Amino acid sequence: HLYSLRILSSAQTNDLLNMGDAISDVELAYKLYAREEAGVFPVIVHHFESGKREMDLKSGHLAGAGVFGMKMLGFCSENPQRGLAPLAGLIVVMDVDKQQPIGILDGTPITFMRTGAAGAVAARALARKDSKRVLIAGAGNQGRAQLLGLATAMPALEEIYICDIIDENSCRFVNEQNGKFPNLQLKAVPYAELAEIAGQVDIIVTCTRSREFFISKEWIKAGTHINAIGADMPGKQEIEPELMANVRLFGDSRAQVIQKGECQHAAKSGRISADDITEIGEVLEGMKPGRRSEDDITLFDATGMAIQDLIVSAKLLEKAKQLNIGLEVEF
């Protein structure tokens, strides 16, 4: 036969996934990217019906880890009425040495986990070491991933405030997550009190679909770290551009954050340029400084990279092989 490949169901993928591993994997991906031993290719997006049906192809390589591949996603806004998930997709992992497929996995749980890990890696590297209080703005699925990531990477955290534009969402979030993190106090914050809380926390995470900013410059105290997770395509926005021009900026990929991350708005209006952005991998590798003082306001702009999905998937497939989990198909 030519080759064999392993296929994992989403249940099997979920069983094998854990946030601690995802954090190490994403950290490695960032470091390889900084060392130019990993790269991403232009994302392909096609709208069948604008806002209703859309396909995305994200691809990349991690030559330094011996894998390459892609994530193919579909989005259909009408699926919930059919009892189906709006997003579905596959990740295909290939081997650099033999140039053959290794495995196929469900994209959804991997995307969830790697995005939570991406935020956690940045906060651990850039936030003040004595950080205790976190505000998560956006009580959706990604809010859950960010909470899990931070709780895993930064065990000294104490209080997590959850805020959403719809107050009942934050209450539901807290009720749902409360028992899962015994060392953390989770509190729902009414949207009306967002400004007040934003000025009292050490770390702010924004993970919404917003297209206009809701975090203002004047609220933010010295020493705060911000993870800007939501903006990952043109038009999305969570942070006031004037704030972006007055913080130390970090991103997953300099090229991507300027084009489609939170940085896009401040870049368009000439407040910042690509030179103002340090890649998180450069900090993790010791090539460039991260936080320089207790008073720095640091901001990490996450746009998401195929190499995050691919490294988490590759490691998961290795684990599945050792444990003999999944379906092995011979071609």
Res 51: pLDDT: 83
Res 220: pLDDT: 98
Positions of CATH 3.30.1780.10 in the chain: 4-110+307-330
Q: List residues with catalytic annotation.
A: 71
- List, for residues 58-111, the tens digit of each pLDDT value: 999 999 999 999 999 999 999 999 999 999 999 999 999 999 999 999 999 999
- List, for residues 241-280, the tens digit of each pLDDT value: 999 999 999 999 999 999 999 999 999 999 999 999 999 9
Burial of 141 (0-12, 13-18, 19+ CB in 10 A): middle
Beta strands 203-206 and 100-106 are unpaired
Percent of the chain at pLDDT > 90 equals 98
CA pair distance 13, 183, nearest whole angstrom = 27
Res 211: pLDDT: 95
On whether the CB atoms of residues 227 and 205 are closer than 8 A, the answer is yes
Q: What are phi and psi of 26, to 5 degrees?
A: -65, -40
Positions of CATH 3.40.50.720 in the chain: 128-305
Res 1: pLDDT: 77
Q: Which band of pLDDT confidence, cut at 50, 70 and 90, is reported for residue 49?
A: confident
Q: By C-alpha distance, which of 213, 212, 304, 297 is closest to 259? A: 304
Instruction: Let me know if domain 4-110+307-330 sits in CATH 3.30.1780.10.
Output: yes
Q: 1.10.357.10, 3.40.50.720, 3.40.50.2000, 3.40.50.920: which CATH number matches 128-305?
A: 3.40.50.720
Beta strands 67-76 and 87-95 are antiparallel
Query: What's the rounded mean pLDDT across residues 206-233?
Result: 97
- List, for residues 163-204, the tens digit of each pLDDT value: 999 999 999 999 999 999 999 999 999 999 999 999 999 999
- List, for residues 100-151, the tens digit of each pLDDT value: 999 999 999 999 999 999 999 999 999 999 999 999 999 999 999 999 999 9
CB atoms within 10 A of CB 233: 15
Res 50: pLDDT: 84
Res 258: pLDDT: 97
Query: What's the rounded mean pLDDT across residues 300-308?
Result: 98
Res 20: pLDDT: 98
Res 143: pLDDT: 98
Question: Mean pLDDT of all residues in the chain?
Answer: 97
Which residues lie closer than 8 Å to 10 by C-beta, 6 or more apart?
A: 106, 108, 109
